[in-house]
Amino acid sequence: MGNNSGSSTATNLIVTPSQVQIDAQVSAFLERAKEEFESKYTQPSKQTAKLEDFKLQRTVGTGSFGRVMIVQRGNQALALKVMEKQTIVKLKQVEHTVSEKRILQAIKFPFLVNLVYSFKDNSHLYIALEFASGGEMFTHLRSVGKYPEDQTRFYAAQVTLAFEYLHYLNILYRDLKPENILFSADGYLKITDFGFAKVVRDRTYTLCGTPE
């Protein structure tokens, strides 16, 4: 009887946060995130590395005006986005490129790829991002066909949280697709490629994304 009573008392002392408390914590986090974003977004660009700092390993992707390479700096593997200045100007992508870099330097969230270094030389712009070693969701889906429901919910929750964060900062991502969702080594998602992302204070009318 005594042991059962003690166990019951201990159980009754376990307090779980109410929905009101959880909502308050989320709101406080988002407010701090917004203040941090506004501060970093307007900061002038800085050279935080140079190409000679990295050991170039292999190219893993190519695009309209550049390529993505896996590079090594010390013990850290990174994805280095290499963009040709002349091609960016020729394709009228200067605004998108500047916007992508400014957004990346100002955001920080577990399910978004993080900017580690950025720099430039006479002919190229470089953005070094954390390397998500698990590959693209597109590749995984092509292999398995579809995910089980519980796994789908797990991934959908991460995407939803990432977009709640972005939208609170007035950022529209505008290019969500399996190719832009990566897996980190621990199995969590990392949304990448902010080339179409835009800070919107009012409305935007541009049609963009990836047509299928």
- Provide the 8-state DSSP code for 42: T
Give me the pLDDT at residue 210, please: 60
Give me the pLDDT at residue 3, please: 53
Residue 90 annotated as binding site:
yes
Nearest-angstrom CA–CA distance, 87 and 76: 29
50-97 per-position pLDDT tens digit:
999 999 999 999 988 899 999 999 999 999 999 999 999 999 999 999
Query: Which tokens is 51 given?
Result: 């190409």
Q: What is the DSSP string of 165-202?
A: HHHHTTEE-----GGGEEE-TTS-EEE---TT-EE-SS
Q: Which of 121, 175, 186, 193 is catalytic?
A: 175
Query: Which tokens is 126 given?
Result: 């470089």
Question: Could you tell me the pTM of the whole model?
Answer: 0.85
Domain boundaries, the chain: 51-130, 137-199
Does the pLDDT of residue 12 top 70, yes or no?
A: no
Q: What is the mean pLDDT of residues 141-154?
A: 97
Does the pLDDT of residue 4 top 60, yes or no?
A: no
- Nearest CA to 86 out of 119, 123, 51 is that of 123
| In CATH, 51-130 is 3.40.640.10 | no
Q: Which residue has the higher pLDDT, 152 or 9?
A: 152
193 is catalytic: no
Asked whether the domain spanning 137-199 has the same topology as the one spanning 51-130, the reply is no
Return the CATH class of domain 137-199: mainly alpha
- Nearest CA to 101 out of 117, 112, 90, 88 is that of 117
